[in-house]
Chain A
Amino acid sequence: GAVVSQHPSRVICKSGTSVKIECRSLDFQATTMFWYRQFPKQSLMLMATSNEGSKATYEQGVEKDKFLINHASLTLSTLTVTSAHPEDSSFYICSVTDSNQPQHFGDGTRLSIL
């Protein structure tokens, strides 16, 4: 069965809208979750590491004020794309890990900003 639940799977909205994406760990408590972004024909790029109970760690070049991450519980992390613009259109994927185990990925969220 699924290990990770990501919602919504598809979002189409107008420029300037803020979009929230949820990532839930179904099988275990995840102190660490990851958020990736994938543009067409490119690889997954890590955006940030979400840490339960503390601030997220962002990769170089990722604006923390634009991509707000909240990891308030051991099973839920949210990514909010604030004031989204067309260049933010992408495939956003979360993953969870149980320390020594390989990461399991959510189904992804396809975001289209008009």
Chain B
Amino acid sequence: RKEVEQDPGPFNVPEGATVAFNCTYSNSASQSFFWYRQDCRKEPKLLMSVYSSGNEDGRFTAQLNRASQYISLLIRDSKLSDSATYLCVVNPPGTYKYIFGTGTRLKVLA
């Protein structure tokens, strides 16, 4: 089983749609979780950290389910500019290392 798994997509959605991505992780002791956004041929940029109680930043909501070992990202009212690859990142315990998922590609269509 991969340490971090994501559906690669692509998810093609119309503008204004709501879309959700899930990501599962294998190390139940992992403590820190993040969503990064990566545009084509660019570096990853932090979208949001994921907190145990769930957190929201504008149109973006992140949730953590420790029992089932997955995190999710919900994007409401999708914009064309949301088109990118969304990377799920898990920080295993006792290290500053990041384990990246393969990313989920989102295309928002006009």
A34 and B43: CB pair below 8 A? no
B45 and A105: CB pair below 8 A? yes
Give a binary string over B25-58; 1 marks a CB under 8 Å from any A CB, 0 the rest: 0000000001000000111111001000000000
A99 and B96: CB pair below 8 A? yes
Number of B residues near A (Cβ < 8 Å) is 17
Provide the bound-state CA to CA distance between A99 and B46, in Å. Answer: 16
A42 within 8 A of B: yes
Contacts of A32 in B (CB 8 A): 96
Given contacts A43-B87, A102-B49, contact A107 B43 (CB under 8 A): yes
Residue of B nearest to A46 (CB): B97
Contacts of A106 in B (CB 8 A): 43
A46 and B101: CB pair below 8 A? no
30 pairs of residues in contact across A and B, judged by CB atoms under 8 Å: A32-B96, A34-B96, A34-B98, A43-B87, A43-B100, A43-B101, A43-B102, A43-B103, A44-B87, A44-B98, A45-B100, A46-B98, A49-B96, A49-B97, A91-B41, A93-B43, A97-B96, A102-B34, A102-B49, A103-B46, A103-B98, A104-B46, A105-B44, A105-B45, A106-B43, A107-B42, A107-B43, A108-B42, A108-B43, A110-B41
Given A46-B97, A105-B44, output 12 extra A-B contacts at Cβ < 8 Å.
A32-B96, A34-B96, A43-B100, A44-B87, A45-B100, A46-B99, A93-B44, A95-B98, A97-B96, A99-B96, A103-B46, A108-B43
Provide the bound-state CA to CA distance between A61 and B87, in Å. Answer: 23
Provide the bound-state CA to CA distance between A11 and B34, in Å. Answer: 30
Residue of A nearest to B101 (CB): A43
Residue of A43, A99, A103, A106 ringed by the most chain B CB atoms within 10 A: A43
Contacts of A99 in B (CB 8 A): 96
Give a binary string over B75-110; 1 marks a CB under 8 Å from any A CB, 0 the rest: 000000000000100000000111111110000000
